[in-house]
Amino acid sequence: MKLSFLSRLTLPALSLAGVVLFSSCAVDQEAALFSQGAASSEKKKEKTTKVKTDSSESWAEKMKAAREEREKERAEAEKKKAQELAAKKKKDETEARKLAYEKKKEEAAKKALAQKEAREKAAAEAEKKALAEKKAREAAKADAEKSLLAEKKAAEKKAREDKYAAEKKRREEERQARIAARKKVEGSRASGGRGNEVAAVANRSGGGFFSSLAVSTPKQYKSKGHHVEINNRALSSLNSSNAKIEISLGQQRARIYNTSGGMEQLVIETQISSGKSGHTTPTGSFRIKEKLEHKRSTLYGRWVNSSGQTVQSSGDSRKRPSGGSTFIGAEMPNWLRITGGIGMHIGYVPNGPASHGCIRVPAAVQPLIFSKVGVGTPVTITY
């Protein structure tokens, strides 16, 4: 209660004291202001100006700071934007390079595929061309074989015709020889002896000339497949002093005559084989220059290797084949040299020329001829 009362008493008193104090201060201040006059007024004016100036400078600084802040923000924003643009540009360039690489890779793949297709096409065309050429070669070969077969048949036909014509000619020449022989026999009748004996049988009929003389070829001189005739009655008188050899290339015959007493008596007639085409036997009159029982060719024969086995070759001593080490000349038994490298000897006798120039004689009769002639015996070769 006391506190409340005091409060009510104190508050009005304090308010009144404050009013008195405020009034006193105001009077004093107003008096001071008036007493100062113009000076006080000037000082107030200066204070007001100063406050205003200070306020203006603070505002400008704030504006400047704000502007600088904005510029800083703008610069940072531009820098960030530039960085973003640079990053985007770099990314775009990377993407562009990637796209260019992919495009280049795709183009390279297309190019490689095109080249592969071109190679395959070229290979297919080459194979097609090779096949066509092969077919053309096979066709040409077939035509050549057909033509060769036709030529072979034509040649065989001509050979048969020539053989028939030659045989016909041979028979005619044999007939003429028989006629000539008869005439010689008839001409020798006046001389008597052997001539009279021959004349007695000259007109007999029969096969060859010797059959007309009623003589037969001894068995040991016969040669299968060859024409060989021996006048056995006149054989003993034939020798190197009176022998004469005549060879007909056209007839493929060799005839040995006895020329004793100025007469020519046919003693031996045999089939021969002379030089083939390209190795023709020379014609003319010669004399035997050499007589050898054993003789080997120096030009023709066979080549053998170090083991003694025959190697494939042309058989020419002047042409050594691969693998050939030794040349062995062909055997030419009962050799009678006529001229150069040409002579009469035992050899293979087919129905026609087949030698390299020599006169081949059947083995059954050449030893007989060899024994009846000698160096110096005349030899006449005609066609």
Close Cβ partners of 266 (under 8 Å, ≥ 6 residues apart): 177, 181, 209, 210, 231, 255, 256, 257
What is the structure's pLDDT at 41? 53
Q: What is the pTM of this model?
A: 0.47
pLDDT at 17 over 70: no
Q: Are the beta carbons of 379 and 287 closer than 8 angstroms?
A: yes
What is the structure's pLDDT at 315? 81
* Banded model confidence at residue 52, pLDDT cuts 50, 70, 90: low
More confident residue, 53 or 264: 264
What is the structure's pLDDT at 174? 66
Average pLDDT over every residue of 264-279: 93
What is the structure's pLDDT at 148? 87
Average pLDDT over every residue of 243-271: 93
Domain boundaries, the chain: 141-214
What is the structure's pLDDT at 156? 84
SS in 3 state form for the chain?
CHHHHHHHHHHHHHHHHHHHHHHHHHHHHHHHHHHHCHHHHHHHHHHHHHHHHHHHHHHHHHHHHHHHHHHHHHHHHHHHHHHHHHHHHHHHHHHHHHHHHHHHHHHHHHHHHHHHHHHHHHHHHHHHHHHHHHHHHHHHHHHHHHHHHHHHHHHHHHHHHHHHHHHHHHHHHHHHHHHHHHHHHHHCHHHCCHHHHHHHHCCCCCCCHHHHCCCCCCHHHCCCCCCEEECHHHHCCCCCCCEEEEEECCCCEEEEEECHHHCCEEEEEEECECECCCCCCCCEEEECCEEECCCEEEEEEEEECCCCCEECCCCECCCCCCCCCEEEEEECCCEEEEECCEEEEECCCCCCCCECCCEEECCCCHHHHHHHCCCCCEEEEEC
What is the structure's pLDDT at 246? 96
What is the structure's pLDDT at 21? 40
Average pLDDT over every residue of 65-85: 92
* pLDDT (tens digit per residue) in 91-144: 999 999 999 999 999 999 999 999 999 999 999 999 999 999 999 999 999 999
* pLDDT (tens digit per residue) in 200-253: 333 333 334 554 444 567 777 777 778 899 998 899 999 999 999 999 999 999
* Banded model confidence at residue 312, pLDDT cuts 50, 70, 90: confident
pLDDT at 44 over 70: no
What is the structure's pLDDT at 170? 67
What is the structure's pLDDT at 74? 92
Average pLDDT over every residue of 192-196: 41
More confident residue, 199 or 222: 222
* Banded model confidence at residue 372, pLDDT cuts 50, 70, 90: very high
What whole-number percentage of the chain has pLDDT above 70?
A: 74
What is the structure's pLDDT at 366? 94
Q: Are the beta carbons of 368 and 230 closer than 8 angstroms?
A: yes
Which of 10-14, 192-196, 278-282, 320-324 is the least confident region?
192-196
Which of 211-215, 276-280, 288-292, 316-320 is the least confident region?
211-215
Give me the chain's average pLDDT, please: 79
